[in-house]
Amino acid sequence: MNLSLMSLEISVVVLGIVVLLADLWMPAERKRMLGYAAAAALGLLFVNTFVGQCSCNSDGTTAGGMFIQDAFSGFFKRFFLLAAALVLVLAVEFSDRIAAGVSEYYSLIIFALAGMLFAASANDFTMLFVSIELITITFYVLTIFTRGKVTSLEAGVKYLILGALSSAFMIYGIALVWGTTGKFNFNELAAVSSQFAENKLFLFGVLFILVGLGFKIAAFPFQMWTPDVYQGAPTPTAAFLAVGSKAAGFVLLLRFLFVAIPSVTAHWDKLLIIVSAITILYGNLCAIPQRNLKRLLGYSSIAHAGYLLLGVAALTGAGQAAVLYYLGGYLFTTLAAFAVIAIAMRHLDSEDIGGLAGLHQRSPLLAATLTIAMVSLAGIPPLAGFFGKFLLLKAVIEQGATNHGYYCLAFTALVGVVISLYYYFGVVRAIYFSKETPDAPPITMSLPAKLVIVICLAGMFYLGLFPSKMLNLASEATFALGLIAR
Amino acid sequence: MISMTTLTLIFALPLLAAIVLAFVPRNLGFVMRAGAVGVTFVTMLLGILMFWQFNGAAVDANGYKFVSTIPWLGAESLGIACKFGVDGLNVGLVLMGAIVAFAAACCSFEIKTREKEFYILLLTMTGGILGAFMSTDLFFFYFFHELALVPTFIMIGVWGRGERKNFATFQITIYLSIGALLALIGLIALYLQLPVDARTFDIPTLTKYFTEHTIAHSAQMLIFPLLLLGFGILVSLWPFHSWAALGYGSAPSATAMLHAGVLKKFGLYGLIRIAIPFCPEVAQSHLQLIAWLALGNVLYVGWVAMKQKNLNLLIGNSSVAHMGMIFLGIASLNLIGVTGAVVIMIAHGFLAALTFGLSGYIYNQTGTLEMSELGGLAKKLRFIGVAFVMAAMAGCGLPGFLNFVGEATVFFGAWQVPALRTVTVLAVWGALIIGAVYMLRAVRAALHGPISDKWVNLSDANLWRKLPYAILIVSLLVFGFFPKLITEKIKPVTEQIVNMATVKPATPASSETVVMVESK
């Protein structure tokens, strides 16, 4: 077994354990530093993936083919490392609202990260299931961390029940697939899956696995948990759930659909089109009446899962690259929004949109950041969201000649974008155009929190204006995934 | 080298200034005002300089002048490059946009709240508009338009006036977003017509490619209606015009000036530059439809304008009605008609900015634009009154103003197409009579007659406030007396476009057109 391929995962797990151990000797007042140190360590690992020797730059499989390392997993590992580092800083900002066990909160984030890293490399059903469980179970705990709040508990219970249900579906599906084909490994399964394209049991198995993954990415009709959990969970958890957990769902979905069962996927374009279209409409329509900002972001994250599915449904390399690009933009945009929530709304019991009133006086930087994040989510130039949506639409319209359903899908996405303008601008309105609140105290921020905000802002503009580099990374990654034959 | 930077500076200066203003403390309102006016003034000078140097400037292989690139923007792998250039078609539009932007900044002194945000948005809008017209890359053409569109919505929502402001904001946002996104889908579909390894958004390359390879008829049937509908919504083509009058009526003056004057022309420019030459067959079969819809603009919206009781709504409707003339010129699809359409685009830009600027001044003085409450204002507001009468005359198509040149040319062009004669006759009637009725009615109701006691304290524009109106009127007159300054530049390009669009005569009418144009 070639452990060097896993060195990144191992170092992340070790980091998590070190954080746990360090907690034993660390005096309480220094624990804030522990979070920063962990974030810095992850940041170093992230930088190292570009400049140094990192296992995520090599190619190969290990652990009997369970664990694969290629450009595709490398792309997602960078994504997860960056997301976790930024979320850890948010967690430190948030730590004064956590009653006990702050270090455990940090280390759980790191363990969830480990799960995501393994998910990026999962090449068989064991690894897929184990990594998903590692992510999901840590998130059960992360969700109820502010256990004094009823909403947090409610969110945790909801996530637990629905998460367990979807895990059950998934394991059942895996059992069916294994029972019919006898294969666990994705590459081996790919070799035989075309023989089973008519086998009902096998197809049911595949469908059940998709149910489990649909739960992770919050696609319709497995989206019920999202708004409640986003609203109730501590803000850093919700941020990590929105970015990391969703991306983990997509990395598994892409690898499962396009590596393990390409011959089945090629016939399921209609299913993907319908799921994508309904997810977009559901997310956007339900977001309209929301008054709680985190809940609104929950619904908007459903809508974005729908947009991302556009790229999956296109069944082309361009579509997959668009998914990767969009996720990159989504990371900066969503984390920026949640960072503002964590910092600016700390004095409020609930994250009501009305609480944003006067934000532009209390902190122009935060107000501008949230505005830019909303504009990027709405997909308006010159921000990351626009270029991502452009790529997704392009990928879908490109397929329109083969199946006119793609044109309908493109128009559905268009309708979704128009609807979303309404509620995103509602947030902007609340920031700038509510009644003046001259006596509100200015908001102070720690330096690392400011750094997170600046990184997110830079990322949104960079991906919107200078897409070349990221595009190359994304196309290399999808090239590794291999195009499916149509 | 200098000319290369001139063009880039014209749109980049306002955008850079917007970024700089974001870091200026908000209590320095004077800095915001001075900055915006100063920057747009420089932009205007650069625009005039560019227009002046246009004839002598070097031409690249595609007929564009002042070609420049911003290399670090765009994505090579997708064929997106941030390229700029002007030819006869857009040089006048850029000049008009730069002049209107300066006038709009001057008219923004009415804004008293949140000046910082307003001027940032105004400058973003200016930069976006000018960038969109200069861009020779389809992606950035759309990109800059969208960049200018969003500030429009926010400005109407925040600094707008009237009771129906919120409704107007939502209506214009939804309408124009749908229009823009439909056009985006059409543009992407156009891009996908190229073979995979040759795909590019570069307009000259696309033009060359589509001259040599015609798009399949089925694809044209998808793309052209999308573009026509998308661009049509953006230009308030009847029956998708209902956002316009209320939207402009509710907008702050500067926004209405910039949108009605300049940004709206984006859709027409897209139709002339992209939709019609790239999808010639389907475009030709839609010409009749466009002409009849244009008649809807001229007659129906003109009739609506006659019925208005609010001065701003009247001006908004008249602005929509004028779009009909431009569409008629496009529908004639011959050298004279399309050239006339471009001339009206420029003329209407000055005129719309002038009328909205003047009505904004009256509104700020009186607090109302209901014509029943106004009256006799010319006694107090002498300069404004004279300017308003001149604007009304220009709107009726009085010789001497650029509008006359454009409208007359369009009618000559459209008359040459036998299939369009009915529409042309009706449109002439509508333009000359209906236009005169509502314009003169507005003049009478607002400016003449006995003055109400309420308005004895009104003050006429001071020298500084006269400046924007004076510049706009002078522009209309200068080009009105010397139309060759513009038409000579436009003609070669429209000739090329008309040739491209009529290269395969699909209907006898259009082939006859070509012959007639050539015989001239």
ipTM (interface predicted TM): 0.84
Q: Specify the amino acid at residue A46.
A: F
Closest CA to B405 of B469, B327, B484, B497: B484
Tell me B11's DSSP state.
H
C-alpha distances (whole Å) from A284 to each of A299, A416, B501 are 7, 6, 41
Residue A36 has pLDDT above 70, yes or no: yes
Q: Which of B22, B73, B185 is the closest to A410 by Cβ?
A: B185
**Residue B211 distance to chain A (closest CA, Å):** 22
SS3 A486: coil
Cis peptide before A221 (omega within 30 of 0): yes
d(CA A337, CA B372): 49
SS (H, E, C) B232-273: HHHCCCCCCCHHHHHHHHHCCHHHHHHHHHHHCHHHHHHHHH
Token pair, residue A312, equals 């999956």
pLDDT for A435 equals 67
Strands B80-86 and A67-69, by their bridges, are unpaired
pLDDT for A3 equals 79
**Residue B389 distance to chain A (closest CA, Å):** 37
Is residue B390 classed exposed, middle or buried when 0-12, 13-18 and 19+ CB atoms within 10 A define those classes? Answer: buried
Q: Does B503 touch chain A (CB under 8 A)?
A: no
In chain A, what residues touch B192 (CB-CB under 8 Å)? Answer: 394, 397-398
Instruction: Tell me the average pLDDT of chain A.
Output: 88
In chain B, what residues touch A393 (CB-CB under 8 Å)? Answer: 184-185, 188
Spacing of C-alpha A470 from chain mean position: 17
With CB atoms and an 8 Å threshold, state whether A421 touches B192: no
Is residue A150 classed exposed, middle or buried when 0-12, 13-18 and 19+ CB atoms within 10 A define those classes? Answer: exposed
Strands A60-62 and A67-69, by their bridges, are antiparallel
Which of B26, B150, B153 has the most A C-beta neighbours within 10 Å, making it the best mutation to test the interface with A? B150
Q: What's the pLDDT tens digit per position in A358-367?
A: 788 888 889 8
d(CA A152, CA A163): 16
In chain A, what residues touch B174 (CB-CB under 8 Å)? Answer: 418, 421-422
pLDDT for B507 equals 44
Q: Does A380 touch chain B (CB under 8 A)?
A: yes
Q: Does B154 touch chain A (CB under 8 A)?
A: yes
- Are A398 and A470 in contact, with CB atoms under 8 Å apart? no
Q: Which of B80, B143, B191 is the closest to A382 by Cβ?
A: B143
pLDDT for B518 equals 44
With CB atoms and an 8 Å threshold, state whether A380 touches B146: yes
d(CA A408, CA B224): 17
Token pair, residue A70, equals 């290629």
d(CA B90, CA B135): 10
SS3 B73: strand
Interface A–B counts its CB contacts (< 8 A) at 74
Q: What's the pLDDT tens digit per position in B94-145?
A: 999 999 999 999 888 888 878 888 899 999 999 999 999 999 899 999 999 9
SS3 B62: coil
Give the DSSP H/E element, type plus range, for residue A100: none
Q: What's the pLDDT tens digit per position in A193-205?
A: 888 888 889 999 9
Residue A299 has pLDDT above 90, yes or no: yes
Q: Which of A380, A429, A468 is the closest to B77 by Cβ?
A: A468
Residue A278 has pLDDT above 90, yes or no: yes
With CB atoms and an 8 Å threshold, state whether A432 touches B117: yes
Q: Residue ranges of the alpha helices (H) in B271-310? A: 276-278, 280-295, 302-307
Q: Does A321 touch chain B (CB under 8 A)?
A: no
**Residue A185 distance to chain B (closest CA, Å):** 34
Q: Does B448 touch chain A (CB under 8 A)?
A: no
Mean of pLDDT values over A411-437: 85
Closest CA to A393 of A481, A483, A461, A325: A325
Q: Does B150 touch chain A (CB under 8 A)?
A: yes
pLDDT for A436 equals 65
Q: Does A394 touch chain B (CB under 8 A)?
A: yes
d(CA A322, CA A65): 28
pLDDT for B506 equals 45
Q: Specify the amino acid at residue A440.
A: A
pLDDT for B510 equals 42
Tell me B215's DSSP state.
P
Which of A376, A468, A471, A479 has the most B C-beta neighbours within 10 Å, making it the best mutation to test the interface with B? A468
Tell me A144's DSSP state.
T
d(CA B41, CA B37): 6
Q: Specify the amino acid at residue B182.
A: L
With CB atoms and an 8 Å threshold, state whether A393 touches B188: yes
Q: Which of A375, A418, A425 is the closest to B178 by Cβ?
A: A418
The region of weakest confidence among A405-409, B15-19, B208-212, B288-292 is B208-212
d(CA A482, CA A269): 18
Instruction: Tell me the average pLDDT of chain B.
Output: 85
Spacing of C-alpha A221 from chain mean position: 18
d(CA B374, CA B388): 14
**Residue B264 distance to chain A (closest CA, Å):** 18
Residue B515 has pLDDT above 50, yes or no: no
Is residue A433 classed exposed, middle or buried when 0-12, 13-18 and 19+ CB atoms within 10 A define those classes? Answer: middle
Q: Which of B73, B143, B177 is the closest to A466 by Cβ?
A: B73
Q: Does B289 touch chain A (CB under 8 A)?
A: no
Closest CA to B185 of A284, A308, A400, A454: A400
**Residue A32 distance to chain B (closest CA, Å):** 32
With CB atoms and an 8 Å threshold, state whether A380 touches B178: no
With CB atoms and an 8 Å threshold, state whether A398 touches B192: yes
Token pair, residue A381, equals 């130039």
Which of B181, B182, B221 has the most A C-beta neighbours within 10 Å, making it the best mutation to test the interface with A? B181
pLDDT for B155 equals 87
Q: What's the pLDDT tens digit per position in B309-319?
A: 888 888 889 88
Is residue A343 classed exposed, middle or buried when 0-12, 13-18 and 19+ CB atoms within 10 A define those classes? Answer: buried
With CB atoms and an 8 Å threshold, state whether A475 touches B72: no
pLDDT for A486 equals 32
